[in-house]
Chains A and B, each alone.
Chain A
Amino acid sequence: MHDLYAFVSGPLVWVAFIIFFGGSIYRLVSMAILAKKKDGVVFEYFNFKYALRSIFHWIIPFASTNWRLHPWMTIVTFAFHIGLIFTPVFLFAHIILIKESWDISWWAMPDGLADILTLVVIASCVFFFVRRQVLPEVKYLTSTSDYVILVLVALPFITGFWTYHQWPESTFMGILHILSGEVMLAVIPFTKLSHMLFFPITRGYMGSEFGGVRQAKDW
C-alpha cells in the first residue's frame, strides 16, 4: 500500500501534470498551426475587444439570453465549474503538500467551504447525469463517453471528501483520490474536457465575427 501511495503521489503526479500541460500546449499550438494553414479567417477576423465582450457575456451567470432561459442549468453549471476549478487549487491539504515539496504556498480556503464546494461539484454531476437521462434534447446527443467523463470528474471529489472525513478504507480511498485526480487532469486535453481549452477561442472567434463584421450581439 505504501509503495503504491508513493508511486501515485510521486512519479504519477509528474506524469499527470506533464501530460496535462504538455497536452494542452500541444492541442492549442497544433490547432493554431492548423488554423493558420487552413482557416485564414480565424486570424484575420479575431478581435480581442469583441472576443472578450462575447466571453464576458458567457462567463457571467444570466448575462446571455440562453442563460436566462435555463436558470437551473445556469446556476448549477456555474457553481459546478467554480467548485471544480477553485476547490483543488485552494484546498489546504493540497497547498500543504506543495509547501512540503517546494516550500511555496498561497491562500487556502477554509475546510468548511471546501467541503461545501466539493458537495456542490458532486451534486452537480448528479444533476448533469439526470439531465442527460431526462431531457430528450440532451439524451439524444449523449453518448457513453459523456457518462464516462462525468464519472471521471466526480470521482476525485467523492474520494477526496471520503478521505478528508476519514471514512472507512480512507487510505485506499486516498490513493484512489490521487489516482483519479491524475487521470482527470491527464485526459483533459484529449477528451471533451478540452472544451476548457477551446472555449475562449471558439466563443472569442464567434464574438469577433459578430462584433467586428456582423456588428451584432451574440449573447
Chain B
Amino acid sequence: MTESAEKIKKQFIDKGIEKGVEELTPEKIEKTINKILKSETGARFKAYVETCVHCGLCSEGCHYYLSHDKDPAFSPAGKVKQTIWEIVKTKGKVSPEFIKQACEIAFTECNLCKRCAMYCPFGIDVAYLMLTMRRICHMLGVVPQYICDTAHSHASTMNQMWVKDDEWIDSLIWQEEEAREEIPDLRIPLEKEGADIFYSVIGPEPKFRAQLIYQAAVIMNVAGADWTMPATPGWDNSDMCMFIGENEMMGRLKKSHFEAAMRLKVKRIVMGECGHAFRSVYDMGNRWLGWKMPPIPVIHALEFYHELLTQGKIKVAKKFDKAVTFHDPCNVVRGRGLHEMGREVTRAFTNELIEMHPNREQNLCCCAGGGVINCGPPFKMKRIDGDRIKAEQLFNAKSRGASTIIAPCHNCHGGLEDIVHHYGLGMDIKFLGDIIYECMEKPGASEG
C-alpha cells in the first residue's frame, strides 16, 4: 500500500509541460481560460458541471481509480474536481503550477475511453470535460512534448510520423513487392479512380508496422476487392491533434482524408485496425467540419472483415491453434458497437475464444488510448501503474487458458504490450488481421 502511494506522488518531468508553464503568467491563464469557456463551451459543459451531485458512482468506471487502490483523486469526478471545477469556481484565477497539474491529469490520467459515461447515472461526459481541459492547456502552450511533436508532424506533413510523400509511396511499393513473393499477381493499386474502397491507415503503419500493409493487401487481393490507396497526403487517418485540443488542425486532417477519398471518387473508406483514428473520422473530426455523419461511409477493419467473411469472400483454411481472448477497444466498441462482429470473425478463425471479464462495452481500457501512450516515455510507468487492473483482468483470462490477446487497435496494442511485459503475463498480442492473414485460404499463393 505504501509503495503504491509513493508511486502516486512521484513527479513526472516532461519538457513540453515544464517549458510551457515557464511562459505562463496568471493574467494570461485567466484570459485564456475565460476566452475558451466563453467562446467554446456551452450547454453541455454547463449541464455537466452543474448536474454532478458528487455521488462518486462514476469511480468504478475508471481503470486508473481501480488500479490505484481506489484512490479518489483518480476517480473520473475526482479528476474533474482537480481541473474543471476549480477553473470554473475561480473564474480562471489559477496559478501556473495549477495548470501544470491540470495538464498532467487531463493528458496522462484519462484515456477519454468514456467508460465512466456508462457509470454516471446522469451520463456526464467526463471525456468531454477532460478534452476541454486539454484544449485550454493547448491554448496556453502547455502540452506534453512527445504528443506535441506528433501534432506538429500532422501540421507539417499531414501524417503523424514525419513520413515524407515519396517515402509513403516507396513503402507501399516495397510492401507490394514483398507480398508478390507470396501472391504473384498481388497489387496495391495506387490512385485508382472510381475504386470501391479507399483503404487508409495510420502513420505508424508505413513507419514501423509495414507488415500490416502487406497483410491488408493480401486480404484485399484474396477477397477480390476493388480497392486503392492514395499517393498523396490524406492517406493517414490518425489524429493526435484531436487529443491535444488542437481542433483546427483536427479539422484540416479530416478534410484532407475525406478529400483524398472524394478525389478518387471511391464508394467508401475502409480503415485499418485503429481505434482513435476511427473516433476522429466517425465522431469528432467530422463534427468539427460540420458533418453529422462522415461524408463518405467509413468502415472500420472489424466490420470489413466481418463483411468479407459473411459474404464468403475470405474463407477459413485452418483454425488458429492457440486459445484467444478478445480485447474490446473503446473507440470501436463503445464508439461503434463492433464487439459482436469482432467476435464472430474471431470465432470463425480460432478454436477457442475465452472471454475476459468485464467485456464488450464494459471492457477495461488499455490505458494507452486518448493520446496517453503518445505522451511518451516520461509517462510510461504512470500508464502501466495506472492499469494494474487490466493486468489482473488479462491474468484471469490467462488462468482459464487464453494465451493470445486479440486487440484490434494500434494504441491498445502498444498499451497491452507494456502491461503484458511489465506484469510478466507472457501472452501474445495480435491484430485480428494477423490471425486472418495466417489462417485464411490464399488461392493465388505460390507454393512454399
Residue of B40, B119, B123, B124 with highest tally of chain A CB at under 10 A: B123
Contact across chains for A217 and B361 when beta carbons are under 8 A apart = yes
What CA separation (Å) do A217 and B73 show in the bound complex? Answer: 27
Of the candidates B41, B44, B124, B293, which one forms a contact with A42 in the assembled complex, judged by CB atoms under 8 Å apart? B44
A198 on the interface (CB 8 Å rule)? yes
Interface positions, chain A 25-67, Cβ under 8 Å from B, are 31-32, 34-35, 37-39, 41-42, 44-45, 54, 58, 64-66
Contact across chains for A66 and B72 when beta carbons are under 8 A apart = no
Task: Give the chain A neighbours of B335 by CB distance below 8 A.
Answer: 214, 216
**Chain B residues touching A, majority SS:** helix
Contact across chains for A203 and B123 when beta carbons are under 8 A apart = yes
Of the candidates B70, B121, B125, B337, which one forms a contact with A137 in the assembled complex, judged by CB atoms under 8 Å apart? B70
B75 on the interface (CB 8 Å rule)? yes
Contact across chains for A199 and B118 when beta carbons are under 8 A apart = no
0/1 interface trace, chain B 315-352, chain A, CB 8 Å (1 if under): 00000000000000000011111010000000000000
Interface size on A, residues (CB 8 A): 50
A69 on the interface (CB 8 Å rule)? yes
Of the candidates B40, B72, B122, B292, which one forms a contact with A140 in the assembled complex, judged by CB atoms under 8 Å apart? B72
Given A39-B43, A58-B121, A214-B337, A192:B72 Cβ within 8 A: no
Of the candidates A39, A139, A192, which one forms a contact with B50 in the assembled complex, judged by CB atoms under 8 Å apart? A192
What CA separation (Å) do A73 and B119 show in the bound complex? Answer: 13
Task: Give the chain B neighbours of A41 by CB distance below 8 A.
Answer: 44, 287
0/1 interface trace, chain A 127-139, chain B, CB 8 Å (1 if under): 0000010011111
Of the candidates B47, B65, B334, which one forms a contact with A202 in the assembled complex, judged by CB atoms under 8 Å apart? B47
Nearest A residue to B44 via CB reads A39
Contact across chains for B123 and A54 when beta carbons are under 8 A apart = yes
Within the complex, the shortest CB–CB distance from B196 to chain A, in Å, comes to: 23
0/1 interface trace, chain B 28-55, chain A, CB 8 Å (1 if under): 0000000000001111101110111111
0/1 interface trace, chain A 187-200, chain B, CB 8 Å (1 if under): 00000101100110
Contact across chains for B75 and A140 when beta carbons are under 8 A apart = yes
Inter-chain contact count A-B, CB under 8 Å? 137
What CA separation (Å) do A135 and B65 show in the bound complex? Answer: 14
Task: Give the chain B neighbours of A42 by CB distance below 8 A.
Answer: 43-44
Residue of B42, B65, B283, B335 with highest tally of chain A CB at under 10 A: B42
Task: Give the chain A neighbours of B124 by CB distance below 8 A.
Answer: 202, 206
Nearest A residue to B116 via CB reads A66
Contact across chains for A34 and B42 when beta carbons are under 8 A apart = yes
Pick out which of these stretches binds chain A: B56-64, B94-102, B245-253. B56-64
Interface positions, chain B 224-280, Cβ under 8 Å from A, are none
Contact across chains for B54 and A198 when beta carbons are under 8 A apart = no
Task: Give the chain B neighbours of A140 by CB distance below 8 A.
Answer: 56, 72-73, 75, 78, 81
**Chain A residues touching B, majority SS:** helix
Contact across chains for A142 and B51 when beta carbons are under 8 A apart = no
What CA separation (Å) do A37 and B40 show in the bound complex? Answer: 11
Given A214-B334, A216-B336, A219-B118, A137:B43 Cβ within 8 A: no
Within the complex, the shortest CB–CB distance from B277 to chain A, in Å, comes to: 16
0/1 interface trace, chain B 371-394, chain A, CB 8 Å (1 if under): 000000000000000000000000
Contact across chains for B78 and A137 when beta carbons are under 8 A apart = yes
0/1 interface trace, chain A 202-219, chain B, CB 8 Å (1 if under): 111111001001111111
A201 on the interface (CB 8 Å rule)? yes
Contact across chains for A35 and B54 when beta carbons are under 8 A apart = no
Task: Give the chain A neighbours of B56 by CB distance below 8 A.
Answer: 135, 137-138, 140-141
Within the complex, the shortest CB–CB distance from B266 to chain A, in Å, comes to: 23
What CA separation (Å) do A204 and B123 show in the bound complex? Answer: 8
Interface positions, chain A 86-143, Cβ under 8 Å from B, are 132, 135-143
15 additional contacts (CB under 8 A) given A66-B119, A194-B51, A198-B50:
A31-B43, A34-B46, A38-B40, A135-B56, A139-B72, A141-B54, A141-B78, A204-B123, A206-B117, A210-B334, A213-B282, A215-B336, A216-B335, A218-B118, A218-B123
Can you pick out 24 interface pairs between chain A and chain B where the beta carbons lie within 8 Å of each other? A31-B46, A35-B43, A39-B44, A42-B43, A64-B121, A66-B57, A66-B60, A66-B61, A70-B57, A136-B70, A136-B72, A138-B56, A140-B73, A140-B81, A192-B54, A195-B122, A198-B122, A201-B47, A202-B122, A202-B123, A215-B337, A216-B335, A218-B123, A219-B118
